Structure 1
């Protein structure tokens, strides 16, 4: 950008700052390097200082992820409206359900262009509840307003089309995942271990992530495969209707089923230490942890559901199991345990090649640049 021009003002809005820091690192680096003023609007958490170190301005946003109280959601919407009127961003990117819905409306009211990024359909398309039906109606209304609506996989885009949730279907774009930094998640050969075999599930500890099935599969396998260890890495008791409690995790540890590793800023040492990364989720956008695991050369086991099947080539880079089935998951974990080290290594290598070809973060950042050029005229 020319120095005499007013800096490009971009706002990134999400229900957690952690997700902005973790999943949009490359985007933020690009924007800051080009002189853009980046404002992150999200509930305050431990990543605020890290985002500020990267050059972002962070604003604490009230978002009640668990609440279905309309008063809370209207508070979020009017907070965003006031912030957009103050910040006057050239373009806003909204992520996750409530920012997508209420942020899109607030941006329209404030006269600010926005893009909605559906990072996964979550409970809205998993459950058949009244709240899910209301959420679909809200999507149908709010998604009249963004200039573009991005989807991370074809299944999610098709779901929105089939349910007629897009007033302007021509504004839909397929992003095909948010990408992974291939240099940061460099390939590492599988550890040479004879006495133990480590599985790890990485992510927020939610029932919808298949954590219950993972624990039950561990229970079924521990007698036949005493060398198998089952680890969990990620935040517990998060603000989500599907959250798992610390009491559940403590009980599983007392039973000797799992090892809880807590949270980690840097997941790479845990991926490197693992023989296989597992994600038995009920539905995903395109799961970052699976892309990162494949990039580092780890075979993966996941469910045959939207999002996961985008990353896993069954029998080539990993194995797919049925969703919500501890029996199916246990069978695939056993299959992985029974495989030769060479077969597992080949899966990991194939995974690295697939991620490099399809999910390179650099290509995703280019998509953001194109969108910014289109809607702001900025020469990035």
Structure 2
């Protein structure tokens, strides 16, 4: 590839202008990158980097192109760690970076880490940034799946870690659980406040009148989010005489084995006090119409973006004491933190919230976002990580 805008012999799109350093992002799904990390790419481009994506297409190439982000459709299967597909994707990495000027690889999650590791086995030696976007394989699964996921993660960490590797985590727990204590001691681990949030898109509006106390859960409708716990907690609270309602926003994920099925979603919708809206794009308005954000996560997430958005909108949250959620919410100050897997504890928190100064809590939540969680702050940290790796000698593509 020799420049932006042309084609290649194998039909892949040109991804970059050769005059600028390249950040090549390795991610499972393009929509996930665009949904969560697009502001990072924009910031990097503003500060002199080119950004390209190796991911499944899933309808996103045109949207990425409009942002000036290069795209190559990955040959690895969506949602899996099948060796053959990952090996082919690693070969794509080798082809993209061969004979190029400074290049940094940025791997997202286990999928990206696996491709980066196999690229190293193919002889690619480049500075690397790894985004640990959660450890769902450790928290949400059990038995052999959990053991296998943990083993894969630690093997990849051993292959990838080194002086030219930087790690980005979204909570203080994921680094140690990945075995990154030495990397942290060497200053190669940065804990971000999630992916950051555009605080300007979420104005703090006055709380609605109450009663009723209105709660909202915004998430994919999958078991790891604890939607069933939220519905059960609402029922317990209402039976205790608390006038409260719950709105569920989000769609399922058919590729996720933990996705709620149609019958389960119908049962949620039939529960007194519960509304199921499905996927919505008017999240700022929906948050403004509610008093509280509720997310009884079962763990495995870095820091949910929806939780950041609720805080930016000045809404306190009820969350479980799992990595990420339990770190971001200060119990009694910006919301309520309860034990995981307990509908009764959630219902008790709903009762406490009904008597609390939610406006003050919401203001404190917004202030926390402004201190550490805006896209400007987090994007700046990411680009600073790129710059720390941008050494004229170390960042040349080396393919042996």
Q: Structure 1: how far apart are the matches of 2:127 and 2:254?
A: 31
1:209 has 2:222 as partner: no
Equivalent in 333, 348, 354 of residue 337 of structure 1: 354
* Mapped partners of 1:58, 1:247: distance in 2: 38
Cα distance in 2 for partners of 1:337, 1:221 equals: 10
Query: 2:55 corresponds to which residue?
Result: 42
Residues in 2 aligned to 1:110 and 1:187: alpha-carbon distance in whole angstroms: 49
The question of 1:84 aligning with 2:93 is answered yes
1:281 touches 1:303 (CA, 8 Å); kept in 2? yes
Distance in 2 between residues matched to 1:75 and 1:231, nearest whole Å: 43
Over the aligned positions, Cα root-mean-square deviation in angstroms equals 2.7
- State the distance in 2 between where 1:253 and 1:181 align: 30
Alpha-carbon distance, 1:186 to partner? 3.5
Match of residue 146 from structure 2: 132
Partner of 2:160: 145
Output the CA distance in 1 between the equivalents of 2:171 and 2:111: 20
Q: Say if 1:168 and 1:189 are closer, same or farther in 2 by CA, change over 3 A.
A: closer
Q: 1:77 to 1:5 in 2, by over 3 A?
A: closer
Residue in 2 that maps onto 1:303? 320
| TM-score (ref. length: structure 2) | 0.82
Measure how far apart 1:333 and its partner are. Answer: 1.4
Question: Could you tell me how far apart the structure 2 residues matched to 1:136 and 1:376 are?
Answer: 31
List per-residue Cα deviations over 1:329-356 (Å, max 9, x = no partner): 11111221233xxx10000001111121
Question: Using a 3 Å threshold, how does the CA distance of structure 1 residues 250 and 75 change in structure 2: closer, same or farther?
Answer: farther
- Alpha-carbon offset, residue 171 of structure 1: 7.0
Any idea what the Cα deviations from partners look like across 1:248-305, whole Å, max 9, x if unmatched?
1122213445322222345222222221111111223122211221111001110112
Q: Answer yes or no: is the 8 Å Cα contact 1:149–1:171 preserved in 2.
A: no
Deviation at 1:118, TM superposition (A): 0.7
Question: Which segments of 5 or more consecutive residues in structure 2 lack a partner in the other structure?
Answer: 1-16, 393-400
Q: Distance in 2 between matches of 1:359 and 1:136?
A: 29
The corresponding residue for 1:260 is: 276
CA contact (8 A) 1:13 1:95 kept: yes
The equivalent position to 2:307 in structure 1, one of 290, 294, 309, is 290
Shift, 1:48, TM fit? 4.2
Secondary structure class of the residue paired with 1:306: coil
- In structure 2, relative to structure 1, the CA distance for the partners of 1:269 and 1:109 (3 Å cut) is farther
SS of the equivalent of 1:40 reads strand
Would you say 1:360 and 2:374 are equivalent positions?
A: yes
Following the alignment from structure 1 to structure 2, what is the Cα–Cα distance between the partners of residues 213 and 149?
Answer: 33
Contact 2:213 2:244 in 1 (8 A): yes
What SS does the corresponding residue of 2:214 show, helix, strand or coil? strand
1:16–1:43 Cα contact (<8 Å) kept: yes
Q: Matches of 1:262 and 1:348 in 2, distance apart?
A: 25
Q: Distance in 1 between matches of 2:27 and 2:281?
A: 18
The structure 1 residue matched to 2:390, chosen from 372, 376, 379, is 376
| Distance of aligned partners of 1:14 and 1:190 in 2 relative to their CA distance in 1, 3 Å threshold | farther
Partner Cα distance (2:184, 2:211) in 1? 57
Residue 57 (1) aligns with residue 70 (2): yes
Q: Distance in 1 between matches of 2:143 and 2:199?
A: 42
Give the stretch that moved more between structures: 292-301 or 10-19.
10-19
Gaps of 5+ in 1: none
Partner residue of 1:31? Answer: 44
User: Which residue among 285, 295, 300 is the counterpart of 1:279?
Assistant: 295
**Aligned match of 1:158:** 176
| Residues 76-85 or 184-193, more deviating | 184-193
2: distance between equivalents of 1:132 and 1:156?
15
1:244 to 246, 260, 264: 260
Question: Structure 2 matches for 1:90-239, cutoff 5 A?
Answer: 90-111=103-124, 112-143=126-157, 144-146=159-161, 147-161=165-179, 170=186, 172-194=188-210, 196-224=212-240, 227-239=243-255
Instruction: Give the TM-score normalised by the residue count of structure 1.
Output: 0.86
Aligned length: 365
